[in-house]
Chains A and B, each alone.
Chain A
Amino acid sequence: MPGLEDLYREIILDHYRTPRNRGELAPPAVMAEGHNPLCGDEITIYAQVENGVLVDVKVSGQGCSISQSSASMMSQAVKGKSLAEIQALVHRFKVMMSIEEDADDAPAVEVKLGDLEALQGVVKFPVRIKCAVLSWNTLLQALENAAQ
């Protein structure tokens, strides 16, 4: 069994204890809710999109250390990025979580995950992958709502 230290890295616990970008945004910002029916985790993402750029993002909800730290780190990573950059980042994150693969003809875009690399250990605990990915799917839903 992989060690728990692979999962509960210090930077993850730091984001769990002091989550970044907590809160809500008023309209015209859009929101989306995500649930993990397996464990009851709930997350709400608020997104303010202007001219194809995510100018502000907030996270609320409650859940385990993995889902909450992933949301916190994600919010830092995507804030101020263009929608295209965010799509690439989401893809890169999901590749790291081993739930998406790179297409053979994928352009070699350099996407840096930064702190998010700390979540790499989650892959060794397959039941927790859903926790880590919840906020990312919720963000995609929020961006879809913004496009409508």
Chain B
Amino acid sequence: MNTTRVDWAAVKADFPVLERMIDGQRLVYLDSANTSQKPNAVIDAMTDFMRNGYAPINRSAYRMAGEATDLFEGARSKMQRFINARSVNEVVFTKNATESINLIAQSWGRANLQAGDVVVLTHMEHHANIVPWHMLVAERGIELRWIPLTEDGQLDLSNLSSLLDGAKILSFTAMSNVLGTITPVKQLCAAAHAAGAIAIVDACQYVPHNVTDVQAWDADFAMFSGHKMVGPSGVGVLWGREELLDAMPPFLGGGNMIGDVRLDGFTTAELPSKFEAGTPPIVEVIGLGAAVDYLSNIGMANIRQHEMQLTEYALSTLSARYGDEIVIHGPRNVEVRGAVLSFAFRDIHPHDISQILDEKNVCVRAGHHCAKPLMKLLGANATARASFYLYNDQTDADALADALDGASDIFGV
């Protein structure tokens, strides 16, 4: 991997919330797989727009509205380059990745799926890539098939061709939010196409941490949320092949998405407006554009490299310190895993672990991580999850390891 030197301490200093002290202790934020912190560049872009230039987009003639439209569409162009989409028409702004998947299920799905049609998912999906398809099972009578997992938490592709036989859709995560597993996206897209299915990539955990190239993937749709990639909450992205988006019926109806409206009907706008009904999250899209600039300046390859080193350090530190008393789920090889560590520690319930870690200002997620089917496979109804990002360093991993000692003191195990 071709990487350049980055001053990671300076990166950390870009995130003002990380300077916060609670009870005299610094904040150790290890919940970025849930949602990420925001750098000054994003905060400033949003406040500057609200202070100095807030205006509607696409519909007013005064100069400030024109500037706002330019900023908004500029963010779309940045995003297009960031994921290497062919055209800005392929970048649709939504509320979040969940809405993006629902959009595909409701628009492409309703137009193309009949009773008995097969949608293939995997056992490591987030609820957002399960429930919209369950809804079509109820409404349309489609059939769901599931790619199982190997012992070490990777996709078991040994029966992939028979699972895909006759399928219309393969929808899968590029990186598990629980196991950290990075899946072979290119291979899965190729297999889907060979079977005559379209390939949908849930890239929520992938895009914030890796170089993303949707054309190299040869996928049909992909989606992710702004808030996990140092951008604001309230905005997400749906990327889709232009010819597919073009052929799809609209999802939400209203302003901005129309060509013409008469008493007896309507026509839709061109892409991407066709899928952006109503006033969009203007401030948030501009903030997301600043987030793309920020991440691009550091370089996604550098961020991936940093996180691989950090993951290796955290895995070996925790294992060396606690041995068999800590069970970390997912692959051991950091080449195929991101910086997400779900773990069981001694016999202490994850909710109690996160409470005790909070006393040391170590923020982790405890719970089912919106992946209950996967939790069932792991034999747990919850795990504790520490997830790292570009603003974390080895001292954060050490703080996690140290704070776990406190759990033993209280529970006497």
Q: Give me the interface of A with B, judged by CB distance under 8 Å.
A: 1, 4, 7-8, 13, 38-42, 62-66, 125, 128, 131
A14 to B263 CA separation, bound complex (whole angstroms): 70
Tell me whether A1 and B355 are in contact in the complex, defined as CB-CB below 8 angstroms, given that A38-B367, A39-B367, A41-B382 are known contacts.
Answer: no
Tell me whether A40 and B355 are in contact in the complex, defined as CB-CB below 8 angstroms, given that A1-B23, A4-B410, A13-B411 are known contacts.
Answer: no
Give the secondary structure class of A's interface.
mixed
> Which A residues touch B368, using CB under 8 A?
39-40
Query: Considering only CB atoms, which chain A residue lies closest to B383 in the complex?
Result: A40
B residues 346-387 in Cβ contact with A at 8 Å? 349-352, 355-356, 359, 366-368, 372, 375, 381-382
Cβ–Cβ contact B352 & A40, under 8 A = no
Query: Considering only CB atoms, which chain A residue lies closest to B381 in the complex?
Result: A40
User: Closest CB-CB distance, B144 to chain A, in whole Å?
Assistant: 22
Q: Is B22 an interface residue (CB 8 A)?
A: yes
User: Closest CB-CB distance, B404 to chain A, in whole Å?
Assistant: 14
Query: Considering only CB atoms, which chain A residue lies closest to B366 in the complex?
Result: A39
Cβ–Cβ contact A128 & B367, under 8 A = no
Tell me whether A39 and B22 are in contact in the complex, defined as CB-CB below 8 angstroms, given that A1-B359, A8-B410, A62-B381 are known contacts.
Answer: no
What are 22 pairs between A and B in contact, CB < 8 Å? A4-B356, A4-B359, A4-B410, A7-B355, A8-B352, A13-B411, A38-B367, A39-B366, A40-B368, A40-B372, A40-B375, A40-B382, A41-B382, A63-B349, A63-B351, A64-B349, A64-B350, A64-B352, A65-B351, A65-B352, A125-B355, A131-B351
Q: Give me the interface of B with A, judged by CB distance under 8 Å.
A: 22-23, 349-352, 355-356, 359, 366-368, 372, 375, 381-382, 410-412
Q: Which of A7, A64, A65, A66 has the most CB of B within 10 A?
A: A64
User: Closest CB-CB distance, B26 to chain A, in whole Å?
Assistant: 15
Known: A40-B372, A65-B352. 13 other contacts (CB 8 A): A4-B355, A4-B359, A7-B355, A38-B367, A39-B351, A39-B382, A41-B382, A63-B349, A63-B381, A65-B351, A128-B351, A128-B355, A131-B351
Cβ–Cβ contact A42 & B381, under 8 A = yes
A66 to B359 CA separation, bound complex (whole angstroms): 17
Query: Considering only CB atoms, which chain A residue lies closest to B347 in the complex?
Result: A17
> Which B residues touch A42, using CB under 8 A?
381
User: Closest CB-CB distance, A126 to chain B, in whole Å?
Assistant: 12
> Which B residues touch A131, using CB under 8 A?
351
Q: Which of A38, A40, A63 has the most CB of B within 10 A?
A: A40
User: Closest CB-CB distance, B76 to chain A, in whole Å?
Assistant: 35
> Which A residues touch B22, using CB under 8 A?
1
